[in-house]
Structure 1
């Protein structure tokens, strides 16, 4: 059996490259290779990372193609929705008809950023492009993430939105009104928006709680200062050791001793989003909130339920 040369072991390759090295289409169907896309293979023992998958797709796209939309967002560190189809943008007139790849033809000039050695759209452009395919909630999650990770800033993104005229920018501006600089996780953003779009007051993100002597007690996800209510997302609760859980319990008891009501949202709670909102409303009401009850309109149900 012919040994696999280094040219076919280091990364993805096209059928044409394989043929030039003496490997037939039948060879590529054997156990030594794995098909990633139509016309693109990789050595079977090479781990398939997201970056490798993107590089593989680029082999069948125009030379100027850049990762964009959801694919660029994942390169910038946030996965929203499924990996496939991969999204790319081009200024060329080429068309690609594949279920696992979406090629967007763009009239405006594409400016390349680089993530994981892959050309992609920059964070601000990625945010606007996303506005054409994702929900408003996912848009806010994307912007909160990009700002928290330091890929852009709220002022920089605002300036970009003011001066650009790309498809999706009107929707991106609308979502930007809900973007917060101190938001630190997509789940925290999701819960904050659940509350806001149900017409409850908006909590502040990631605030430090001090005791009467101004000593640090805790840094909390979502804080209602006026009603002394804290909302925290704890998706890793089930994975923690007994010692970690004991520390979490002590931290919570310290907050409650200072007069705070702590509402903890676990990963499983997300299956019943209305119940989360009602729990927060009850905590606020018990601490003096006299505002309206939550309102779950059709849009809220579409986004969260």
Structure 2
């Protein structure tokens, strides 16, 4: 599948580049001068440069590898996920690609020897990239459980992957290494999750043996007027769990949150707030879990 033209182009007849580029090609075509390459750019890998001051994201790392390989290698793993527009990928993640032959990897690049089947390779901006389902399949097998669920949840948000599609792909490759973990990743993944923190909160809840919460549920009042969209909840027991990030620290956001929580309370919903430090500390995490368990029990849940 092809989704657009190649990434970099000159911005004028002799000027600046907009991303990773092959210096020899850019100079010979008159896109930039050698002086520009020497003074205005940083070297990423052999013959591949990027303008100084440009953030080296996971996506740009992927483009750099594709440019270095002259589009002969297939981007995979986090590089493929970044190319498909997956959010929340850390810039520190190494670039990954697949080669059918032995190659010496540039610094910071992982070259894998995986076998790819028909339909496993698509093209994004002219670069060969593992398909969204193959990308999720690989990351789900190789990462730790919690990281794997978070990245699979994020891949769902690209709208290029469905949970059923990933499950079917796993069923078609039952002997692949890591397939047992992948099946667990698929089970615990959720197409509604909208942040890694929300995923982490959900996994903590499930690990404690509590019922699986619904995600991104819209709540209306008796007059069918919108009240809130909540991260995690059990509609049958009217219990909500919300993760509060740093963006909730402003006075304006705190006032908005208070109004929202009060409105939910008026409708009989119990709201339990969670923050990163509560999840990170085992003792505090246990207290939060007991608060959730208690709220569910009071509402009639068999916990």
Whether TM-score is above 0.5 comes out as: yes
- Is the partner of 1:284 in helix, strand or coil? helix
Structure-2 change in CA distance of 1:173 and 1:64 (3 Å): farther
| 2: CA distance, partners of 1:44 / 1:183 | 35
Counterparts of residues 1-305 of structure 1 (less than 5 Å): 6=14, 9=17, 11-14=19-22, 17=25, 30-44=38-52, 48=56, 50-61=58-69, 63-76=71-84, 77-90=86-99, 92-109=100-117, 111-165=120-174, 166-238=176-248, 240=250, 242=252, 244-272=253-281, 274-286=283-295, 288=297
| 2: CA distance, partners of 1:245 / 1:95 | 54
| 1: CA distance, partners of 2:222 / 2:17 | 63
Structure-2 change in CA distance of 1:40 and 1:208 (3 Å): closer
Listed one character per residue, the Cα deviations across residues 22-67 of structure 1 (whole Å, up to 9, x for unaligned) are 9xxx979943331112443234476655444322222333743121
- Answer whether contact 1:62 1:94 (CA < 8 A) is retained: no
| 2: CA distance, partners of 1:21 / 1:181 | 45
Structure-2 change in CA distance of 1:109 and 1:286 (3 Å): closer
Structure-2 change in CA distance of 1:62 and 1:155 (3 Å): same
Q: Which runs of 5+ in 1 are unaligned?
A: 293-305
| 2: CA distance, partners of 1:55 / 1:21 | 20
Structure-2 change in CA distance of 1:221 and 1:7 (3 Å): same
Q: TM-score by structure 2 length?
A: 0.78
Cα drift, residue 119 of structure 1: 2.8
In structure 1, the residue matched to 2:6 is none
- Answer whether contact 1:112 1:120 (CA < 8 A) is retained: yes
| 2: CA distance, partners of 1:195 / 1:68 | 31
| 2: CA distance, partners of 1:11 / 1:284 | 50
In structure 1, the residue matched to 2:10 is none
The alignment yields a C-alpha RMSD, in angstroms, of 3.4
| 1: CA distance, partners of 2:51 / 2:222 | 63
In structure 1, the residue matched to 2:7 is none
- Larger mean CA deviation between 53-62 and 150-159 belongs to 53-62
- Larger mean CA deviation between 96-105 and 249-258 belongs to 96-105
Structure-2 change in CA distance of 1:240 and 1:273 (3 Å): farther
| 1: CA distance, partners of 2:129 / 2:141 | 17
Q: TM-score by structure 1 length?
A: 0.77
Cα drift, residue 225 of structure 1: 3.3
Q: Which runs of 5+ in 2 are unaligned?
A: 1-12
Structure-2 change in CA distance of 1:119 and 1:18 (3 Å): closer
Cα drift, residue 192 of structure 1: 0.4
